[in-house]
Structures are given as C-alpha cells and as structure tokens.
Amino acid sequence: MEHYFTNSDNLKSEIKEFKVKISNIEFTFKTDNGVFSKGELDYGTYLLLSNVLKLDIKGRVLDLGCGYGAIGIIISKLKNVKMLMVDVNKRALHLTKMNAKENGVIVDIRESDGVSRIDDKFDYIVTNPPIRVGKTKLYELINDALLHLNKDGELFLVIRKEQGAKSFIKDFSKYKIDILDRNKGFYILRLKT
C-alpha cells in the first residue's frame, strides 16, 4: 500500500488545485496523488495554522514535513520570517516549489529526512507530523527537531486524540508542553526545551 510519505514514481499524477482564504488572503494550492490531503487544506493543518498565526512569530522557521506546502507558504505570506521547508516526498517538494511561486513567497525548500540534512537552528518549528511512520520514527523526528531550536524556541504540532495525543503529551513531559487548542479530536501542542 502506498502512503503519502513514500516516493512513488509509478503513482499517476493528477494535479488538483484548490483555493483557501486565510486572514483574508486567498491562497492557491496544487496538490496531487501520493501527497497528504489532496484537494483540500487538512483540518488539523488549518487548526495548527490558526493558532500559530495568532502569535507574534518572526525569525527563522522550519516547516517539518511540508507536503504540498500549506504551512510554510501561509506563514511566510503573513509573517516576517525566513522559512525552510523539508520533506522526504519528492512529489510534495515539487508541488511546494510550484505553490511558493504561485503564492508569491520566497522560501527555502529541501529534501531531508527530518532534520538530518539541516545544520541550522530555528526560532519556531511548525509541523503536522507524519503519524503513519510509526511511533518510534515520529518520536525520533520530534526529538531531533527539538535539538534544532534556538534558546527560547518553540515547536508547534498537531496530533489527533486517536493518533495518541495523550500518550505523546506524557512521553514528551520532560519538555515544557502546553495544549494550545483542542477541537474535533485535534490537539495543538507547543513544546519548549
């Protein structure tokens, strides 16, 4: 079975474009088969963005597991930040490049397994993480990402109750962890080291 995080050249491309209005700005996104949330902004991503956009974020930001690019592109358009977007899925990275151009933002886009190819540090990391990779890999991705936060940096993530939100909170309790929002079973969490 193909998952959205695999690189499948065999998977037929069927680009589907959609538009979404955030903070009164209309964004246009191209999505495709084999990439998370084809044809629409995922509700978890939307809720994560709504919470992050309320904050006065600036500086260097990492969109970890960027998919077709919604999080990094929307934050870049609405905030004064320097954005790096990474994913392992080549098709997602290609869509992110097209979507950044379409929405008029300049972002850095790189192929990287988590932060493995990243030396930089960030003021904020924002992620709708890949749950389907399994708990061990998910925890590795988040733990490694936390090492790339500047002092006073913050990592924001969305996770659903049925995907283990409560055990995630328990397992990461050595960090400062807050529940910023909870809606329709989605938890928006903030972690600080």
Ligand X SMILES: C[S@@+](CC[C@H](N)C(=O)[O-])C[C@H]1O[C@@H](n2cnc3c(N)ncnc32)[C@H](O)[C@@H]1O
Question: Within 32-102, where are the H helices?
Answer: 43-53, 70-78, 90-102
Task: Single out the residue of 92, 95, 105, 142 in contact with ligand X (rule: CB under 6 A).
Answer: 92
If you write DSSP's letter for every residue of 3-18 in order, what string do you get? -TTS--SSSPP--EEE
Q: Which is nearer to ligand X, 21 or 151 (CB)?
A: 21
Three-class SS of residue 81? strand
Query: What is the spatial distance between Cα 96 and Cα 73, in angstroms, rounded to a whole number?
Result: 8
Q: Which is nearer to ligand X, 144 or 171 (CB)?
A: 144
Quick check: 71 and 45 in contact, CB under 8 A?
yes
Does residue 34 bind ligand X (CB under 6 A)?
no
Does residue 70 bind ligand X (CB under 6 A)?
yes
Does residue 111 bind ligand X (CB under 6 A)?
no
At its nearest, how many Å lie between ligand X and the CB of residue 60?
A: 18
Task: List interacting residues with ligand X (CB under 6 A).
Answer: 4-5, 36-37, 42, 45, 65-67, 70-71, 86-89, 92, 113-114, 128, 130, 133, 141
